[in-house]
Structure 1
């Protein structure tokens, strides 16, 4: 296999780096910008809260208008707009949407009924109109139960601090605080400038140039309040007529558990990534030592596998550092984020290249790639790069963004397509060895290699099934406290796959699978067959080597004893 050096366009590199910088978001400080959006509901964020967690929701520049005319939305227009903050056991589907897909909770007609299993906070936006006063009504639904103990605040001063509005006509003032409330405000000093709201009270809604602004904070004070919370925006007129109104607004959400910006289920994620990075790094050094001590049995593909393990360790290390800074600051550092995406991109491409090379038997069985195998490379590598780019965009996009759903489908389809492609050369190798075993008189050697590729085929299938399907199902069903186990299973499964693959194709003379075919190199020597076997005799102090070879056209077996 020949490699060529491709000249790199410097301008292209700058463009790629610029795209990475543009994609970087603020970690757990979410900002979702909606322009002329006609979706009837949008998932803005999901987060796992423990007792003492705080969610801040800030909406700026809100205005809605008819899809057929630029007329502003007002209180007399049929339908409402607002937010629901839904509590559930995990992040699969919010409890409310399991039973109500076509009815808006703020709707005037056919309002859905909420049972005792539903726990949510309602934030209804009512702009001013001929008979309406601009206001934001905040309710807990149902009152009491698992939502009891949640304190809600109106925080208009946050709009000034974020420079969304210039000034306020009157400042919100807090009330006398109890001991528990003083402890709460000690953890969240920003609540000092907020005013507490009772259930059904109105938060301050500010109007500037026909656009509306408000900010609320939600503090979860009891153990019963812990759970997976999802923030949804609702455009109620579009539940009945999907294109009735369009809305434009900017949503800023900050989620915290005390001083930790990670969800309660992600609190161990940095530790998991650091541990897995150490395991892969240690494995890389062990693999390098094996290659150093078995020089004559080492092929180029073994060094490719070594580079792959180092890249995997570097990718996990950068990912762990990213999570560490998100936990402390709410956002990753740009330098570490770029390093993670670069190592992840290289690791993903090299992983599929390595699997395809092993599947074709390159270096282990033959020194060349057929035209069909080269076409597999031409197809797999660009698609794998596309899959990794889709993954990066998903990581750096907000859940409610239009492109999030599109790139999610692209990533899933392209990733499964690439996984299917790497199985094709393995099937070709198994079929080739099966046919060769019955035609060229070397059944024993080819059958051994065929068993190898069957084993490797099953190994790859199990790896794909576990890391793509089982882990995804587990992620949808695991309780919100244990979402970090998804990372443990995915990276742990990958580590086991790397270990088994390395052990199967380890560079050792006793491994009959790695006897390289030399028929093309030995065409001029008709007296020696490819299935010659070298046997080491360690019974005596000296090394006695018995060379057994079968000459063509001669049934007698010639033996030569060599003393080393």
Structure 2
């Protein structure tokens, strides 16, 4: 069932009552989460969301429960109704249907829905109505399990339909048992804005990162010139800070190139992504080392680090490396993967610990 909730909330429901913009491919194995945050993407006019559900596996025979997708349009992710629903027993998927079909029901201004993106016509009607009312689900039985496959495509035809869309998978538990069933499936997601694979808010990033890289590179070159021509003594901390600016310029340059390939191909090129992650990790480590050195007064007040300062480095540097690793895993993992939220929490916690650690010598 597809319907709108709280002004503009589009829901796609697949009900079985009796039974790396971007291009994503998410594997869910024995996943018991009631809500899975699959993807978040900002669409402009001409944007396309294509979703394929592949090999949704259930044991053969009667299965009681409701499973489906919900597409929620909001101003920003912070006001998504799922923040309130995630800890409650409420389920968006209320209607029941004994047929194996993807039913579409409109309750407000609805977007244009099709079986897949190849079936989107060249001329799109802008009338406020459902453009597709019933989408088929195929079923096949293998080794005692039923496998379901379906797909749907969403086309943003008008400026009124533009916005930030959040796609969720819903696993509503059996009303009798009250527990969610573990699901196994593959979800393939294709998102684009008229051939641009970046979300609406990310489109300026390739040019922005490239411009900022040039600015940092110019500042680093100017800094190098000043250090080399200075008649005053040059402290080693100044050289370390100059290296930090060069690393920042390289990190931004590789980040911009990485986003350019995501923009044009829908996925990054591994070589450029690795170069970005290496320079980003080095930049983060050098940044925190510089802050700690300045806080301890090294090279200004004292030229030798005390045992206390050395112990502080033994804490800060591994924490910063762990924070960068967590950030890289966050960037590389699918938003709907079970480990994604865990690494996000680890990243926030480690960043807070790093900030506390570098404040210690100052206090």
TM-score range, shorter chain: 0.7 to 0.9
Task: Indicate the residue corresponding to 1:221 in structure 2.
Answer: 157
CA shift in 2, pair 1:99/1:214, >3 Å: closer
The CA deviation at 1:241 is: 5.7
- Would you say the 8 A contact 2:101–2:134 is kept in 1? no
Q: Is the 8 Å Cα contact of residues 107 and 236 (structure 1) preserved in structure 2? A: no
Determine whether 1:201 maps to 2:142: no
Aligned to 1:33, which of 27, 32, 39? 27
TM-score, scaled to structure 1: 0.56
Which has the higher relative contact order, 1 or 2, with Cα contacts under 8 A spaced 6 or more apart? Answer: 2
Q: Could you say which structure has the higher strand fraction?
A: 2
What's 1:270 paired with?
Answer: 206
Partner of 1:21: none
Alignment match, 1:102: 89
Report if the CA contact (8 A) 1:151-1:218 is conserved: yes
TM superposition shift of 1:202: 3.0
State which structure, 1 or 2, has the greater radius of gyration over its C-alpha atoms: 1
Partner of 1:467: none
Contact 2:21–2:199, Cα closer than 8 Å, also in 1: no
Contact 1:38 1:238 in 2 (8 A): no
Which of 62, 68, 74 is equivalent to 1:88?
74
The C-alpha deviation readout for 1:192-213, integer Å capped at 9, x for no partner, is xxxxx74542334343522111
Tell me the distance in 2 between the aligned counterparts of 1:242 and 1:319. 46
CA distance in 1, matches of 2:241, 2:51: 47
CA contact under 8 A between 1:38 and 1:242: conserved in structure 2? Answer: no
Gapped regions of structure 2 (runs ≥ 5): 1-19
Tell me the residue number matched to 1:555: none
In structure 2, distance between residues paired with 1:27 and 1:345: 24
Alpha carbons of structure 1 residues 73 and 235: separation in structure 2 relative to 1, 3 Å: farther
Task: Report the TM-score, using the length of structure 2 for normalisation.
Answer: 0.86
Are the counterparts in 2 of residues 63 and 73 from structure 1 also a CA contact under 8 Å?
Answer: no
Question: RMSD value over aligned CA atoms?
Answer: 2.5
Question: In the TM superposition, what whole-angstrom CA distance separates every residue of 1:464-491 from its partner, at most 9, and x where no partner exists?
Answer: xxxxxxxxxxxxxxxxxxxxxxxxxxxx
Specify which of 48, 60, 63 is matched with residue 42 of structure 2: 48
Q: Given the superposition, is the C-alpha separation of residues 179 and 371 from structure 1 closer, same or farther in structure 2, using an over 3 Å criterion?
A: closer
Deviates more, 1:34-43 or 1:230-239: 230-239
CA distance in 1, matches of 2:360, 2:112: 58
CA contact (8 A) 1:33 1:250 kept: yes
* Deviation of the 1:270 alpha carbon: 1.1
The answer to whether 1:59 aligns with 2:20 is no
Deviation at 1:73, TM superposition (A): 6.6
Q: 2 CA distance for matches of 1:178 and 1:273?
A: 35
How far, CA to CA, are the matches of 2:70 and 2:361 in structure 1? Answer: 51
